Amino acid sequence: WLSAYAKPGQVIAACWEDPPFFSSETDPLVGPGITASIGPLFGLWSHYLGDQWSIGDWDGFIAAVPRELADWQAHVALVVGTAEPSQNLREYDPEWGRAFITGSFAASCPHHVMLSQVKVPVLFTHHFRMIDEGSGGLIGACADPQAERVVQLVRRAGQRITYRSFPMMAHSMHGQDPTLFADT
């Protein structure tokens, strides 16, 4: 957002680390939207854990996962175990996920409009992504056609964009490989 809308001189360049451009919208201009990717998991967190963990029904969440999620989504949901929520999930507010699945997060800022307004040079790292054959869902933050549109829109805005593909990298490169992140 700041890449496009910051005051002149406030931002001189941007590093976009595996951003969910288009894929985090409910009805994106290109590629699969949030409901065909991680959105159903966000919905379960919102339903069973509640805004700011006001419900906190971890056992109900665990029981619902195999019923309500595609296999790959269930794997993502349970990869850290089922005995108790991971620390990073405890620090997460399910209300944030609800904002994505309801569309309220991006309602006033469609990605194609924002990307057409970028005013600084950008480094865009694109990490692991694939389309699940069983569900048609996007596994990853941004599908290839979405990344292509991002590059196209930023270039049309007159800005330099350096696209780097890391197809085997987790969403958080800075967490998985801090040295590579710093070197990139």
95-107 pLDDT, tens digit each: 999 999 999 998 9
**Are the CB atoms for 159 and 167 separated by under 8 Å?**
no
Q: How far is CA 72 from CA 12, 76, 77, 135, 140, in A?
A: 38, 6, 9, 9, 11
Q: In terms of pLDDT, which residue wins out, 14 or 83?
A: 14
pLDDT score of 19: 97
Candidate from 63-72, 77-86, 126-135 with smallest mean pLDDT: 77-86
Q: What average pLDDT does range 38-52 have in this prediction?
A: 93
**Are the CB atoms for 139 and 75 separated by under 8 Å?**
no
**Are the CB atoms for 121 and 160 separated by under 8 Å?**
yes
pLDDT score of 146: 98
Does pLDDT of 134 surpass 90?
no
The contacts of residue 83 (CB under 8 Å, 6+ apart) are none
Q: What average pLDDT does range 64-71 have in this prediction?
A: 93
Give dist(CA 161, CA 18) in Å, integer. Answer: 14
